[in-house]
């Protein structure tokens, strides 16, 4: 019985505190006391970050949006503009956050928070980057912004993370280019496939898809040749052989070696007929 009463008491006390807290926050929103709002906004921001509480961060954001214009040109302005940008960032609003970080950097380029603002502003585009088969405008922008951060802070606090994220975005672009070329191959547009794989090999020398690109370029040339008119076949078979040599040069024990050798035997037989 005593425990049940205690539990009810704690519940009632919690509800009472929540009601008081909400009413106090509503009072703050209507208040004209900017200093009081500043203190409350910073407390809510810090608690929201520490507790990973979107509810507190959203409350902080409303207060910050109200008071930020009041502190422009004042000593607290720098801190407030950064808090506003970072609150958007902490809430996962990667569309408003980069705009606010950019504004912060324009207003306070020499701030101690400038590096963090530059990094987080760039990272917003990383999180906005869609899967590889969609439009990659944000991916390109993310690479550009992350590289700008790395150029400015080559030994910065976030250099390792920026390099990692930039690499991930570049691989996404490589995957898109590779999959486009491979789609040409699979749909039997072999001339387009060869051209696309040529471009891919030239544009992405360090890509993890490079070996597959070399093989499918060869395979596209092989299939184009064997499906050609007789008058074109010999020249196209010889081109396929050249592509096979390029594959074996870079990947002498590659993943596709066995498949390549099987089709090369067929090419040798066909060439003997010429």
Share of the chain above pLDDT 90, in %: 82
Residue ranges of alpha helices (H) inside the chain are: 2-30, 34-51, 54-67, 77-90, 96-107, 114-128, 137-152, 159-186, 190-203, 210-226, 230-250, 257-272
Query: Rounded mean pLDDT of 53-66?
Result: 95
The pLDDT-based confidence of 6 (bands split at 50, 70, 90) is very low
What pTM does this model have? 0.84
In the structure, what pLDDT confidence band is assigned to residue 75 with cuts at 50, 70 and 90? confident
The whole-number pLDDT of residue 49 equals 93
d(CA 132, CA 129): 8
- Taking CB atoms within 8 Å and a gap of at least 24, the contacts of 241-250 are 241/267, 243/214, 243/217, 243/218, 244/218, 246/214, 246/218, 247/211, 247/214, 247/215, 247/218, 250/210, 250/211, 250/214
pLDDT tens, position by position, 244-263: 999 999 999 999 999 999 99
Distance CA 205, CA 26 (A): 59
pLDDT score for 236: 96
Residue 9 in this model has a pLDDT that exceeds 50? no
Structure tokens at 192: 């387009």
């Amino acid at each position: 019985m005593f425990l049940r009463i205690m539990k009810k008491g704690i519940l009632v006390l919690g509800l009472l505190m929540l009601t008081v807290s909400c009413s106090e926050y509503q009072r703050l929103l209507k208040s004209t006391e900017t200093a009081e709002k500043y203190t409350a906004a910073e407390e809510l921001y810090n608690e929201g970050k520490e507790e990973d509480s979107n509810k507190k961060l959203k409350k902080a954001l409303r207060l910050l949006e109200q008071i930020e214009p009041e502190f422009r040109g004042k000593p607290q302005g720098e801190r407030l503009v950064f808090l506003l940008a970072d609150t958007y960032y902490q809430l996962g609003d990667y569309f408003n956050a980069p705009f606010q970080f950019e504004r912060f950097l324009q207003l306070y380029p020499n701030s101690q928070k400038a590096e963090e603002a530059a990094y987080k502003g760039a990272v917003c585009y990383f999180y906005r980057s869609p899967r590889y088969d969609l439009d990659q405008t944000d991916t390109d922008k993310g690479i550009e912004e992350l590289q700008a951060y790395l150029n400015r802070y080559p030994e910065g606090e976030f250099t390792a993370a920026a390099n990692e994220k930039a690499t991930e975005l570049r691989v996404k672009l490589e995957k898109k280019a590779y999959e486009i070329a491979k789609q040409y191959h699979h749909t039997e547009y072999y001339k387009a496939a060869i051209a696309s794989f040529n471009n891919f090999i030239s544009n992405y020398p360090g890509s993890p898809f490079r070996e597959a690109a070399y093989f499918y370029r060869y395979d596209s040339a092989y299939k184009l040749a064997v499906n050609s008119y007789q008058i074109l076949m010999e020249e196209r078979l010889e081109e396929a052989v050249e592509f096979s040599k390029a594959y074996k040069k870079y990947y002498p024990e590659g993943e596709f070696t066995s498949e390549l050798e099987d089709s090369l035997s067929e090419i040798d037989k066909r060439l003997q007929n010429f």
